Amino acid sequence: MTKLLPGVLAMAIVVVASNILVQFLLLGGLLTWGAITYPFAFLVTDVMNRVYGPQTARRVVLAGFLVGVLCSLIGSQIMLEGDGYTYAAVPLRVAVASGVAFLAAQLTDIFVFNRMRGGAWWNAPLISSVAGSLLDTALFFTIAFAAFLSFGPTADSQISWAWDAASFLNVGPDVPLWISLAVADWMVKMALVLIALVPFRIITKNVTQNPA
């Protein structure tokens, strides 16, 4: 339990902060502040995997998943008003997408990390985080916003704004808005994957004498 606690607390902080900060937009709505904090979940998972192994890392991920579910349940009960109608702060599709993407991406990160564990110190966290981030972005935005999926008229109406045509990344040809949101999110994740290598190395070197 002692070795679990720091990871569980760190993951809970990342998940809760991301669920709160997703309400605040950046770059004309292409990003949210939550997109900046959420990728650090991969850092938490990778540090726990390196120091304590995959079983402990999976337990930390499960704790983060349960915290995310709780945040979604709370968000689904918060009703907002706009354009003459009332809607939940966390629509059903978004809640499902968030949970599925988080769990699948983090478990993939752990699996890939273990396959790459024997290489240079940066191989495992870099490649596993890239793989997990790609899967996370693809699953979340497809389940949450893709028009070819349907959760029923009521659920779909809450996210139909994401189907509106808009300039790709605010500069290119018109595409469904959710495509630009997904690409912008993926680009941020890739940048933070590289940045996170620095704290990963510092933390693992301080915690263990065999970080590689």
Q: Kindly state whether residue 125 falls inside one of the protein's structural domains.
A: yes
Q: Measuring CA to CA, how many Å separate 128 from each of 79, 93, 105, 135?
A: 37, 27, 9, 11
* Rg of the chain (C-alpha set): 18
Residue 17 CB neighbour total at 10 angstroms:
16
Short-list 44, 52, 49, CA closest to 17 = 44
**102 belongs to a structural domain:** yes
* Cα–Cα nearest to 199, from 59, 65, 10: 10
pLDDT higher than threshold 80 for residue 15: yes
Structural contact between residues 82 and 132, judged by C-beta atoms closer than 8 angstroms: no
Task: List the one residue out of 64, 68, 49, 70 whose CA is nearest residue 10.
Answer: 64
Quick one: DSSP state of residue 164? S
Spatial CB neighbours of 112, under 8 Å, sequence gap ≥ 6: 124, 127, 128, 131, 132
Q: Give how many domains the chain has, as a whole number.
A: 1
Burial of 93 from C-beta contacts in 10 A (0-12 / 13-18 / 19+): buried
Which tops the pLDDT comparison, 118 or 109?
109
Q: What is the mean pLDDT of residues 106-120?
A: 95
Q: Which of the listed ranges 25-34, 48-57, 67-76 does the model predict with the highest average pLDDT?
A: 48-57
Predicted pLDDT of residue 72: 84
Residue 120 falls inside a structural domain = yes
Residue 10 lies in a domain: yes
Residue 183 lies inside a defined structural domain of this protein: yes
The CATH code of the domain that includes 91 is 1.10.1760
Residue 39 contacts residue 31 (beta carbons within 8 Å): no
pLDDT over 60 (residue 37):
yes
Q: Please give the model's pTM, rounded to 2 decimal places.
A: 0.91
User: Using 50, 70 and 90 to split pLDDT, how confident is the model at 211?
Assistant: very low
- For residues 63-83, average pLDDT: 79
Domain-embedded: residue 91: yes
In DSSP terms, which residues pair with 176 in a beta bridge?
Answer: 165
Q: Is 212 among the domain residues? A: no
| Helix (H/G/I), strand (E/B), else coil: 176 | strand
| pLDDT score at 142 | 97
C-alpha span between 100 and 183 (Å, rounded): 19
Residue 31 included in any domain: yes
Distance CA(177)–CA(148), nearest Å, equals 14
pLDDT: is 91 or 97 the higher one?
Answer: 97
The C-alpha angle with vertex 126 and arms to 124 and 129, in degrees rounded to 5, equals: 95
Its domain, for residue 194, covers 4-207
